[in-house]
Structure 1
Amino acid sequence: MHPSSRAFLSLVAGATALFAAHAASAAETIKIGVAGPFSGAYAAFGEQQWRGAEQAAKDINAAGGVMGKMIELAKGDDACEPKQAVAVANRLVDNDGIVAVAGHFCSSSTMPSSEVYADAGVLQMTHGSTNPQVTDRGIPTIFRMCGRDDQQGVVGAEFVINTLKAKNIAVLHDKTVYGKGLADAMMAHMKSLGLQPVLYEGLTQGEKDFNALVTKVKAAKSDAVYFGGLHAEAGPLVRQMREQGIDAPFVSGDGIVSEEFVLAAGGPQYVKNVFMTFGADPRRIAAGKALVEKFRAAGYEPEGYTLYSYAVIQSITQAIAGTKTTDADKLAKWLKTHGAQTVMGPKSWDAKGDLKVSDYVMYKWNDDGKYEQMD
């Protein structure tokens, strides 16, 4: 045999062995993607997400795994950038071989990436994407562990009008799928209650100087400001409002559910009279008490979406255990039929993949820079 032929056969044999070893290794674990903003301005939400998912995987594995296999997480950083989210989705599917994905966080990332997962037959469950179009597009294998903006916006509007008694309401947003969608949902309900906004304006993500916009808010004699967006912009916006002498209530949504909001605002002194909508505080739910204590004992406060992310991994793995398969259609059908038991209590989903029960409530930021659920 010619030496080059031996070398070729040796190379083929080596590649075959490597592929077999990789396949065997892949078969030994159940790989789940965790996709979200682990870098950039919104990395605080990625930190919450990863903490929850990682702890869930550890706890499930400590209890024996699923079908005798260990859960393995594959991390994908989309930085809340739609194009990057698509690239992350392709990598998780093609290179990491995931069978399900927990994520993404931003609706603008979840929607384009969902096409990749749907085409690949990968179950997707987002812990934080609230834009209605996430589930309204008819993808049968996508779910959320959170509510929708057309639910959240209603709660926000009724609070501003019925509780705060505001009449001159400025509605602002960050021009994103999430931020504008939330602001529009709030404004639609506000209009149904008989009020028109005195100002409706968008700002640009990544900018920090909003003084020109604040001047417009002041000129409109706004007695309340509603903002659809995330903490990186909400913080400087509310600080500049206060610096220009606007003490009107500032109301936002679940995009500021992080103590990073206080840092972005420049300190607790700037978050007085700030309110937000978010699901009922999962740290108060009896089903998650032991987990909350475990996190705190380790020096981590499981704020925001931490327990949501934990619950996503629980739900996915319960579906795999219940169906004894990773087929996305079968997993989806099982979840819609059986629901899941989570650290946030029992969860059930409708035909779209939305939670059957949405529990949005109001929160207020206190003088210590902490948020508290309003009873």
Structure 2
Amino acid sequence: MSASETAVADCETLSVGQIAGLRRKVSSMHRVFVFVFVFVGLAAVVSCSAHADVLIGVSAAMTGRLAWIGEQGQRGAEMAVADLNATGGVLGQQVRLITVDDFCDPEQAVVAAEKLVADGAVFVVGHYCSGASIPASKVYEAAGVLQISPGSTNPLLTEQGRDNVFRVIGRDDAQGVVAGSYLADHWGNKKIAILHDGTTYGRGLADETRKQLNKRGVTEAIYQSYTPAKNDYSAEITALKAANVAVAYVGGYHAEVALMVRGARDRGNPIQFISGDALATEEFALIAGPAAEGTLFTFSADPRRNPTAAPVVERFRADNFEPAGYTLLSYGAVQAWAQAVKQAGSQDLRDVIRSLRSHQFDTVLGRIDFDEKGDLTVQSWVWYVWKDGEYVPLK
């Protein structure tokens, strides 16, 4: 039994007991009065059940090499729920958050999704990894649970035709166009390498970037995969140097890119590294050290710079947490859900879906709305550069 069901069951037990007492007190009264008392007791049950907490979930990699990003998602959702409850919750009910660890793994993501469904979550902020979001989305669809991802960028997530799936970040077919064009514009006459980690996210982004690069009339010198989660990428760095590669675009996660950058600099290789949104975490600079300087990547327009997000950003910083990366994207996902429920006047999934598709929502991400697939109608991929231990917009 889920926590919400337990709360309701406790409430129902008390009310049924009260009903029994009422019936004993009126045993000598006319049958119609018994009915009146029973009706009043049942109304108490309904009223009490209606005030049980609304459960929502957040699912991301909370352990392992992507735990830093998982914490961003969790902290963003936690702050959003706290702020929501401080203003009355959703339709008069308080909201409670459940966190599960999907390890950024397809099979574990399904287990995590099933756990959230069993616990009674009506909405999930997640998953972060595309390779986790896509298989989990099937579980949520079957259970009638809304899913809004703050970080999954692979196009397939919203191309499956699942009405319950949305995201508050752009797609890699758009991100790849930006990256491929930038490579063609700045290194079209140099040797370019495109690497990927074989994951749904990494390979998908690399392929979209390659597609746009080739469309611009430039063919990469190297296209190959690498094994994620290794401690050393000296072999890959040596191969890039031997091929006289000037720039390497890496479709993958921040930890591996950081090790590549550091390895290249340690060997005196000035190769330029470029990657995607997964580099939007402070851990990249912690792993890469001074070698992080100058690394380029694409990410959403930084919501920390939105005036409407300032109060939220200040509260995070007052708690000694920098809301970088996907923190505010998770916060914004909760805001969109809560506003959609309010607009619909209902928590029914079909009503909320219709609301999400027919309204605009004022969030820490700015004003957003969704198309029929569940994607943002406006996508903005921005270039960033790592400088002095933080990422800033590229000028």
Structure-1-length-normalised TM-score:
0.91
Partner residue of 2:61?
37
Q: Deviations over 1:4-37 (max 9, x none)?
A: xxxxxxxxxxxx9987227767851111111111
Q: Tell me by how many angstroms 1:325 deviates.
A: 2.2
CA separation of 1:75 and 1:18: change in aligned 2, threshold 3 A:
closer
Aligned counterparts of 2:223 and 2:7: Cα–Cα separation in 1: 59
Gap regions ≥5 residues in structure 1: 1-15
Matched residue, 1:5: none
Secondary structure of 1:89's counterpart equals helix
Is 1:232 matched up with 2:255? yes
Q: Find the counterpart in structure 2 of residue 374 from structure 1.
A: 394
CA distance in 2, matches of 1:152, 1:18: 45
Contact 1:248 1:273 in 2 (8 A): no
After superposition, residues 43-62 of structure 1 pair within 5 angstroms as: 43-62=67-86
| 2: CA distance, partners of 1:18 / 1:39 | 30
**2: CA distance, partners of 1:283 / 1:165:** 34
- What do the CA deviations read for 1:154-193 (whole angstroms, capped 9, x no partner)? 1112222224556211000111000000000000000001
- Tell which has more relative contact order, 1 or 2 (C-alpha 8 A, sep 6+): 1
Residue type of the alignment partner of 2:10? A
Give the stretch that moved more between structures: 120-129 or 297-306.
Answer: 297-306
Q: TM-score, normalised by structure 2?
A: 0.87
Shift of 1:294: 1.6
Bigger-Rg structure (1/2): 2
Shift of residue 321, structure 1, vs aligned partner: 1.5
Correspondence for 1:20? 9
Which residue of 326, 329, 332 corresponds with 1:311? 332
Q: 1:198 is matched by which residue type in structure 2?
A: A
Amino acid at match of 1:200: Y
One of 274, 278, 285 as aligned partner of 2:295: 274
Q: Find out whether 1:78 has 2:91 as its counterpart.
A: no
Consecutive unaligned residues of structure 2, counting only runs of 5 or more, are 13-47
1:328 — aligned with what? 349
Residues 1:89 and 2:113 aligned together: yes
Percentage of pairs with the same residue: 42
Which moved further from structure 2: 45-54 or 321-330? 321-330
Match for residue 241 of structure 1? 264
CA contact (8 A) 1:166 1:224 kept: no
**CA gap 1:293/1:165 in 2 versus in 1, 3 angstroms:** farther
- Pairing partner for 1:297 from 315, 318, 323: 318
Q: Return the alpha-carbon distance in structure 2 between the equivalents of residues 175 and 274 of structure 1.
A: 22
1:188 to 188, 211, 215: 211
Stretch of structure 1 that moved more, 20-29 or 145-154: 20-29
Task: Report the equivalent of 2:147.
Answer: 124
Give the whole-Å Cα distance in 1 for the aligned partners of 2:272 and 2:188: 11
- In the alignment, which of 173, 184, 191 is matched to residue 196 of structure 2? 173
Aligned residue pairs, count? 356
- Report SS of the residue matched to 2:9: helix
| Structure 1, 165-174 or 349-358: larger mean CA deviation | 165-174
Q: Displacement, 1:128?
A: 0.2
